[in-house]
Amino acid sequence: EIVMTQSPATLSVSPGERATLSCRASQSVSSSLAWYQQKPGQAPRLLIYGASTRATGIPARFSGSGSGTEFTLTISSLQSEDFAVYYCQQYNSWPPWTFGQGTKVEIK
């Protein structure tokens, strides 16, 4: 099973600043990497798939990069609605599809 490790666990950022979140895979997942945003009491929402392709309706301030074992989600200018928990998920190696433990982006 591929283990996904996210860092940091918590990121404190001021509104308008850039946020950079990391996700590392225990072995290569090529570009089969997705990012999700989850707010309290809600289901996760797909942001990015294929490591860098934004899902439908996702603002351009969200961008993804990386391949192999190292991936990054960047939020270029944090808005109030972006404070949430972010998860990465690999879908290269099955079974099973696996998720990271999450990075909480909080207001500084």
Shortest Cβ 33–another protein spacing (Å): 9
Residues that bind another protein (CB under 8 A): 32, 34, 36, 42-46, 49, 55-56, 87, 89, 91, 94-102
* Residue among 64 and 78 whose Cβ is closer to another protein: 64
Strand partners, 33: 90
* Residue among 4 and 19 whose Cβ is closer to another protein: 4
* Residue among 36 and 71 whose Cβ is closer to another protein: 36
Shortest Cβ 76–another protein spacing (Å): 22
* Residue among 2 and 78 whose Cβ is closer to another protein: 2
Shortest Cβ 97–another protein spacing (Å): 5
Shortest Cβ 59–another protein spacing (Å): 16
Strand ranges in the chain using DSSP code E only, listed in sequence order? 4-7, 10-13, 19-25, 33-38, 45-49, 53-54, 62-67, 70-75, 85-90, 98-99, 103-107
Could you tell me the CA-to-CA distances from 98 to 15, 48, 87 in Å, in that order? 31, 16, 10
Question: For residues 108 and 105, what is the distance between their CA atoms, to the nearest angstrom?
Answer: 9
Helix, strand, or coil (residue 39) = coil
